[in-house]
Amino acid sequence: MAVLPRRWLVARATRGNRTIAWLAVEDGYVRVSFHFAERHRAALAEADGLARAVRDRIAATAVSGRLLSVTFEVREPADLDPVRVVLAVKLTAK
């Protein structure tokens, strides 16, 4: 019997031709990742509704190549709150 990998890509959320987020299923949770140009770090830091810990994590995240990656683990419905805030920033970012 084949064993499924512990992590695998489930979906790429798009709007038109633009990728908004990446989703992956892990053991017991879903990982949601957003990728921003580094210039959007300030908009993320100023977004209403983000906890101080999330803002600090975004501020401390190193840029990989030219992108700033923001990742969340969604284990319960309350974990979606910061995802919604970052999604709103992503949808308005140009």
What are the tens digits of pLDDT across the range 10-29?
A: 889 999 999 999 999 888 89
**pTM for the whole thing?**
0.85
- Is residue 40 within 8 Å of residue 89, measured between CB atoms? yes
- Band (pLDDT 50/70/90 cuts) for residue 2 is low
CA atoms within 13 A on the CB side of 33: 14
